[in-house]
Structure 1
Amino acid sequence: MAITEGFDSLRSELTDAPLPVRGALPGWLSGTLIRNGPALFDAGGTSFRHWFDGQAMLHRFGFADGAVTYTNRFLDTPGLRSARDDGRIGYTEFATDPCASLFGRFFSRFRRGSGVNPNVNISRYGEHDVALTEVPMAVEFDHATLATIGVLAPDSGPTGNVTTAHPHEAPGTGDLVNFVLRFGPKSSYQVYRQPAGGTTRHLLGTVTAARPGYVHSFAVTEHHAVLAIFPLVVNPLSFFLRGRPFIENYRWRPELGTRIVVMDLRDGSVRADHTAPPFFAFHHINAFEDGGRLVLDVCAYEDARIIDALYLDRLRAGDEAPVSHPTRYTVDLDTGGVDVRRLSDEPMELPRIAYRTHNGRPYRYAYGVGTTTRRDLFDQLVKLDTHTGETRLWHVPGSYPGEPVFVPAPGSTGEDDGVVLSVVLDGDAGRSALVVLDAASWAEVARAEVPHVVPFGFHGQFSHRA
């Protein structure tokens, strides 16, 4: 079995299936890991065009008393029912567009809520568990059963056309911080705060852009929100005039550079708006303040070719793909200077940190996926020491890991005192496994074997709730 099996459709669903465990799980590991990602890539005789277009499925791993259970369930959306039950692609996606009408293309993605496909991440809005994508509509699900409850709309606050599936918890308050991008003659990134325990959005500040860039994630520090607006930009009129799927309206304009905007979380004022050399990224690693400087760590690509490399036909053919590297951008908030330094030559993507204690603050360790060959998108797990640039690698030939999620040990005092959880495609066994690494030593301590291949997903969260 090759890595390409991770881009095949999964149609079967299991409920609380006990998984055989090899090795020994830490006795303190109790709770749930819920992961989100695409799982249905084909409808009838047609396939969605891009990895990001597959229909959303949740995967729940429950940990208790050294045992692991597994549940997987599709999120029940009109798009899923159209693809799975009717055998047709009925709704527009990131790079797939079945609509015949130009106006239908625009409004089906941005205005018709029934077409949302929340396949990127999960979060918690007060007492509500939600699945997220880049369309600003969250879909609520039941934490225990993964059953879909319905669209959860904000009570009030800014609205727009595009958002991120990576809201942050503001250090110190726990409030959710995110932005919605509203297209127009002067498009605006509207940064908002959503108090912990609620669904009401409060506008903090606005950043305008004549040609808005595609921004998948952002960063926060103790006092600031940080937007890196890459030169992959769009004229919003293109959605009406070109008749192309969403992402294919964007153009790479390296001469624009990368705009780094720093907004004060207290009053929404723009503290800095500077230009860095052109680069592209899906994911920020972390950011923090250092006196009059702001440090921003990103998994940076040279350009935006990675988006084209993630079309399904290329992934299924095993084509080569660009790689990103952990890169540090240090912004002088007073002079506007931006210093750029690569933290390691080891490729890294899907980064995670000790989020609860170090997000938005100085940190040392980051965890991610990496690759030994550009034909295998991800074939190893990477632990990066940002202080020294040293890396530790977990690599098993024929195994292809997903995002590593750090879980701290109870009462932990060290930043890497805990375990890392990753869903890994075991090519030799022909199925996936939940692999548990000791975060400090980077050694595998246990794995729970899933009876089927889990398609490659994106992001997940660990909760101490059963």
Structure 2
Amino acid sequence: MAVAPACPVDGLHARVVGKLPDWLRGSVYRNGPGMFEGAHAVFDGCAMLVRFEVDGPSNRVVLSHRFLESTYYKAVKANGTIKWRMAHPPDAPRSALQGLAYAGGIALGALQYGRHLGDNAVVSILPQGNELIAHTETVSGTFRIHPETLETLGRVHYRDGIHGLVKTAHQTQLPSGDWVGLAADFSPTLEPGSPQLAMPEITVFRQSPWRADRRQKIAAVPYMHPTRPTWIHEIPVSENYAVVVQNPLLYNVRALLMGQTADFMAFDWRPELGSMLHLVPLDGGKVKTYRAPAFLAAHWVNAFESADGRQLHLDAIAAQSPALMSQWELDRVRAGPDSSCQVEPSRLCRLSLDLGLPDGSFLGQKPLLRPLAEEAAFGYGLELPAINPGNRCRPYRYAYAACCVRPTNVYNALCKVDTHTGEVKTWHEPGGATWEPFFAPRPGGRSEDDGVVLSTVMQPDGRSALLVLDARSWQEVARAVLPYALPSGFHGCFVPS
């Protein structure tokens, strides 16, 4: 199987099978790992940015891709291998001496290549103004990207006084165009203009679509655990509220700095802590905090308020534990569909929050998370959800995601879920693999599913293709086939032209 070349690729015309809709014009952007030498998990790979330029009238798809020029990438190129990882094999524990040596290697690497070794912006890529912004879990891993050439234009240097070393790898765009996200610290910080140390906290912010370097603080909320930040990959946002959901998955700083193992990748699972939900009014009103039983939701499909304004509905891809994180280990990804390494279970659920509940309430209703579809219909596993962007933060009906036809060690199907009826439609090509779908609405369309869904898939022959599905019928319309395989991707977007 031919694989994507390591050098930049510009202007490669894909072979289009079928006919693209005449109205479909724009670019599919994707971010994800593309160099794995020395890696333990997929997300240790160096960020590779991909662009599919789609032109329906000429039935043409043109591919470009290149590596993001981060400090992490430059260090990997210089060393010929990945030396500083987010995760380590569970069967390779390190002694205290080995851990100190690993930490010393990080310090020496920072002296040699610069202090931003954790800037591998490998997770997502989103439009902001006339540029694209590539994101990961660290604040330093935020980069400006040229939307046509995919060249790295430089790191985003924030000029707003909001502190934090880590952040959400996703931001959510409000109907107004502003983005909402959060940043957090690992350790106490000095208060501005004061010698006093402040305990680390989580800052929720909003950001103009035209100012990548400035964020406006909405609120600050405390950690669930006083000295250890919670891993928060994304927060659900409605038109009037953001909800900071702290599930009991805590960063293990010792594992990160000393190359040691943790419960799951670089994190510890502490279910006895339960979950904590902070309801943050976007107008700066009083924050309310609730407790709930332990659960894990990395990706949120959507959030919206009920018509009477009394409830906030949070739709999530949820799991009972972080076991699903282990499916991103390279050995598992490469194991093959018939191996014992199967995709971990997850489900599409709704958490309905009564906005009238007083601060400090315990969310003890059962079930806390209500399934929106029969799990067997999507193979007891789905991830990387998407909706029509016109319904973001508002009531919606249809969700799209990568899912499973078992046995499989990777997501190998795409599904459309009707959240009103629970009906699930599935597209599947035996022997293939799928990644995140993107919804492209038809201009002038009157229904929520009037458009197409685009996703990068791996064909049974090992070549990658950009698949185009009719969102209403869930039938294939066309595909643009590449002469080689692209590596696994994480998140991206469709930007119409």
TM-score normalised to structure 1 length: 0.90
Distance 1:350 1:105, change over 3 A: same
Task: Give the equivalent residue in structure 2 for 1:359.
Answer: 392
- Report the Cα distance in structure 2 between the residues aligned to 1:388 and 1:106, rounded to whole angstroms: 55
Distance across 2 between alignment mates of 1:162 and 1:437: 36
| Counterpart mapping for 1:69-80 below 5 A | 69-80=62-73
- For 1:107 and 1:331, locate their aligned partners in 2 and report how far apart those are by CA, in whole Å: 48
1-structure distance, mates of 2:343, 2:15: 34
Contact 1:157-1:202 at 8 Å conserved across structures: no
The answer for unaligned runs of 5 or more in structure 1 is none
What is the rounded CA distance, in whole Å, between the counterparts of 1:33 and 1:223 in structure 2? 29
Paired amino acid for 1:100: A
The counterpart of 1:134, out of the listed 127, 132, 137, is 137
Match for residue 426 of structure 1 among 459, 468, 471: 459
Q: CA deviation at 1:245?
A: 7.0
Letter in 1 for 2:236: A
Deviation at 1:11, TM superposition (A): 2.2
Name the structure 2 match of 1:213. 230
Using a 3 Å threshold, how does the CA distance of structure 1 residues 68 and 302 change in structure 2: closer, same or farther?
Answer: same
Query: Match for 1:17 among 7, 12, 17?
Result: 12
Please give the alpha-carbon distance, in whole angstroms, between the structure 2 residues aligned to 1:99 and 1:35: 37
CA–CA distance in structure 1, aligned partners of residues 172 and 275 of structure 2: 22
Q: 2:93 maps to what in 1? A: none
1:38–1:235: structure 2 CA closer, same or farther, 3 Å change rule? closer
Q: In 1, Cα distance between the equivalents of 2:105 and 2:77?
A: 22
- Secondary structure of residue in 2 paired with 1:306: helix
In the alignment, the residues of structure 1 paired with residue 80 and residue 301 of structure 2 have an alpha-carbon distance, to the nearest angstrom, of 39
Q: How does 1:274-423 map to 2 (within 5 A)?
A: 274-290=290-306, 291-318=309-336, 319-335=341-357, 336=361, 337=363, 338=365, 339-344=368-373, 345=375, 346=378, 347-355=381-389, 357-373=390-406, 375-423=408-456
- Residue 197 of structure 1 aligns with an amino acid whose one-letter code is W
Matched, 1:59 2:50: yes
Aligned length: 449
1:106 Cα deviation (Å)? Answer: 8.6
Q: How far apart are the structure 1 equivalents of 2:418 and 2:398?
A: 5
Q: In structure 1, the residue corresponding to 2:321 is in which secondary structure?
A: coil
Preserved contact between residue 131 and residue 140 of structure 1 (Cα < 8 Å): yes
Q: Which amino acid aligns with 1:62?
A: E
1:174 CA displacement? 1.1
Aligned to 1:203: 217
What is the aligned-residue identity percentage? Answer: 37
Instruction: State the match for 1:449 in structure 2.
Output: 481
Bigger radius of gyration = 2
2: CA distance, partners of 1:294 / 1:404: 25
Q: How far is the alpha carbon of 1:269 from its aligned partner?
A: 2.6
**8 Å Cα contact 2:414/2:434 also seen in 1:** yes
Task: Measure the CA separation in 1 of the matches of 2:255 and 2:410.
Answer: 31
Residues 9 and 40, structure 1, Cα contact 8 Å, conserved in 2: no
Separation in structure 2 between the aligned mates of residue 463 and residue 394 of structure 1, nearest angstrom: 24
Distance 1:37 1:53, change over 3 A: same
Deviation string 1:401-439 (CA, Å, 9 cap, x unpaired) is 110100000011110100000000002x22010000000
Classify the secondary structure of the residue corresponding to 2:82: coil
Offset at residue 235 of structure 1 (A) = 6.6
**Contact in 2 for aligned 1:191/1:205 (Cα 8 Å):** yes
Counterpart-to-counterpart distance in 1, 2:243 and 2:104: 33
Residues 340/77 of structure 1: CA separation in 2 closer, same or farther (3 Å cut): closer
Distance 1:432 1:239 in 2: 34
Q: Pick which of 449-458 and 250-259 moved more.
A: 250-259
In the alignment, the residues of structure 1 paired with residue 209 and residue 333 of structure 2 have an alpha-carbon distance, to the nearest angstrom, of 39
- The verdict on how the C-alpha distance between 1:238 and 1:128 changes in structure 2, with shifts beyond 3 A counting, is same
Instruction: State the distance in 2 between where 1:320 and 1:268 align.
Output: 45
Distance 1:96 1:320 in 2: 20
Pair 1:249–1:75, CA change in 2 (3 A):
closer
1:94 alignment counterpart? 86
The residue aligned with 1:176 is 179
Q: Which amino acid aligns with 1:326?
A: L
Q: Once the two structures are superposed, what CA deviation does each residue of 1:434-458 show, in whole Å capped at 9, x if it has no partner?
A: 0000001100000000111011101
What is the one-letter code of the residue matched to 1:323?
A: P
| Distance in 1 of aligned mates of 2:445 and 2:107 | 49
Give the distance between the partners of 1:354 and 1:182, measured in 2 at CA.
33
Change over 3 Å in CA distance of 1:420–1:106 after alignment to 2: farther
Residue aligned with 2:147, SS? coil
Work out whether 1:119 is the aligned partner of 2:141: no
Between the aligned partners of 2:317 and 2:302, the Cα distance in structure 1 is 10
* Match of residue 274, structure 2, among 247, 257, 272: 257
Mapped partners of 1:438, 1:394: distance in 2: 11
Provide the C-alpha distance between the structure 2 equivalents of 1:108 and 1:245, rounded to a whole number of angstroms: 21
Which one is further off, 141-150 or 51-60?
A: 141-150
What's the CA shift string for 1:241-293, capped at 9, x where partnerless?
x65379755311112222122100011531x3222222112210011112221
For 2:372 and 2:146, the matched residues in 1 are separated by: 40
Residue 84 of structure 1 deviates from its aligned partner by: 3.5
Question: What's the C-alpha RMSD, in Å, of the aligned pairs?
Answer: 2.5
2:286 pairs, out of 269, 278, 294, with 269
Label 1:147 to 1:49 Cα distance change in 2 as closer, same or farther (>3 A).
same
DSSP 3-state at the match of 1:35? strand
Alignment partner of 2:61: what SS? strand
Is the CA contact 1:192–1:205 (under 8 Å) kept in the aligned structure 2?
yes
SS of equivalent residue, structure 2 residue 27: strand
